[in-house]
Structure 1
Amino acid sequence: MPITLSQYWMQLDELGRAVAVFLILMSLISWFTIFSKAWSFWRIRRSTHALQVFWNSPSIEDAVTLLDALDVENIYTPLAKQGLQAVNPASRTKSIMAKTEVGDIVTRVIREELNRVTVRLESGLTLLASIGATAPFIGLLGTVWGIYHALTAVSGSSAIQIDLVAGPVGEALVMTGLGLIVAIPAVLAYNAFNRVNRITFAELDGFAFDLHAYLTKAN
């Protein structure tokens, strides 16, 4: 007769239950991160046409306004806004950058915004990588602990029968399966998000380069 989840839970000791709860928590955190990042990246990829709209605008002010409206995840807009502000002489009158060349100011501002956007895009990926790397080993810990208890129970029996070992060992292997169930989606999502990030970073670098060239030449 197959064992139910409630029966399996009752047979676990404190360490086994702690491992199971920890894996379940890791799975919940992983799926929450996957869904939130997938939603964010989907919105980012839908906004890529905003760059074309930006460069087709009649003026830089109109371009920034349109970009702000179309860039729903606010990925490209900060570069344009901060770059436009950097070339405004009024924004430099009371700062240590007042006597710095406009090109150097624009470079610094765009670099800072690129760093902020990079940190934002990569947030959560380290968590997914950590879950994908550690979940199988945590599940293996539960398996080893369960097998240890099964063999300990069998060693105290006068007659060793295969069903006395197969049942508990099979139940212990559930932990390995649970660890893999947690790890596989996290690893797949991490690889997929990394690919989207590479595409987005390439577009950001190109936009930053073109924006720097335009702002420095226009001023």
Structure 2
Amino acid sequence: MDAVGAAAPHMDFSIWGLFWAADWIVKSVMLGLLGASIWCWAIIIDKTMHYRRAQAEMNRFERVFWSGQSLEELYQQQSEKTSGGLGSVFVAAMKEWKRSHEQNASSFVGMQQRLDKVLDVAIARESEQLEKNLGFLATVGSAGPFIGLFGTVWGIMNAFTAIAASSSTNLAVVAGPIAEALFATAIGLVAAIPAVIAYNKLSSDAGKMIGRLEGFADEFSTILSRQLEARSK
């Protein structure tokens, strides 16, 4: 008993000490969660910057689009640069519009249906880019605590094994394994909580931008539909 009590003060309960003293399975859990947390923060930073740029680009495009500039001039400007968001949707629709007129398409309904399909495909492509990697945040947010809990359970198993091996119920015997186990849970929460918060925020922002894309597509489709009707008369 005295030997156990004398050994206890020499145990390192710092973060590094808990990590190095942990079982290799618990270490694997900790490293996996730490890597997932780092990747989550990389996604969060990248998406935040991406969404800000996308919002600014949408605002600039809408100002130009509704300024009265001709569609042909705007198409030439947008097609010369690799634009995304509203500009990409606009260019895709204008390409189909010009292709239909070059082929002297006579069916108003057929042209309208093709334009609608092109707009849907363009929106789906932009939506995929906006929502890319958000699923990883959702996965870490939901699975992170359970992965950390696995490390906790394994660490507690080691604590009971230490009790059986030492034939002692002294807290010093199990303090280390229990601390390691709880540390694994803490890392799981550190990875999961920001991931959940970021996923909710970023998915909401992505949904708003997708809504803007769909709204613009409906308005632009209406404008082209009016021109088609005027030309068919």
Match of 1:159 among 156, 162, 168: 168
Q: What is the 5 A alignment of 1:18-167?
A: 18-49=28-59, 50-65=61-76, 74-89=84-99, 93=103, 101-167=110-176
Instruction: Please list every run of 5 or more consecutive structure 2 residues that lacks an aligned counterpart in the other structure.
Output: 1-8, 229-233
**CA–CA separation in structure 2 for the residues paired with 1:54 and 1:164:** 72
Distance 1:46 1:179, change over 3 A: same
**Which protein is richer in helix relative to its size?**
2
Number of equivalent positions: 216
Q: Percent identity?
A: 28
Distance 1:215 1:8, change over 3 A: same
Does residue 172 of structure 1 match 2:181?
yes
> Contact between 1:84 and 1:215, CA under 8 Å: does it hold in 2?
no
**CA–CA separation in structure 1 for the residues paired with 2:20 and 2:99:** 72
Q: Secondary structure at the match of 2:187?
A: helix
**CA–CA separation in structure 2 for the residues paired with 1:19 and 1:73:** 42
Larger Rg: 2
> Contact between 2:58 and 2:85, CA under 8 Å: does it hold in 1?
no
Q: TM-score, normalised by structure 2?
A: 0.83
Q: CA deviation at 1:156?
A: 2.1
Instruction: Please list every run of 5 or more consecutive structure 1 residues that lacks an aligned counterpart in the other structure.
Output: none
> Contact between 1:136 and 1:183, CA under 8 Å: does it hold in 2?
yes
**CA–CA separation in structure 1 for the residues paired with 2:65 and 2:192:** 41
> Contact between 2:58 and 2:86, CA under 8 Å: does it hold in 1?
no
Which one-letter code corresponds to 1:12 in the other structure? Answer: A
Does residue 202 of structure 1 match 2:202?
no
Q: CA deviation at 1:166?
A: 3.3
The one of the two structures with greater contact order (alpha-carbon pairs below 8 A, sep at least 6) is: 2
Q: Secondary structure at the match of 2:166?
A: coil
> Contact between 1:44 and 1:73, CA under 8 Å: does it hold in 2?
no
Deviates further, 85-94 or 159-168: 85-94
Distance 1:203 1:72, change over 3 A: farther
Q: TM-score, normalised by structure 1?
A: 0.88
**CA–CA separation in structure 2 for the residues paired with 1:103 and 1:136:** 50
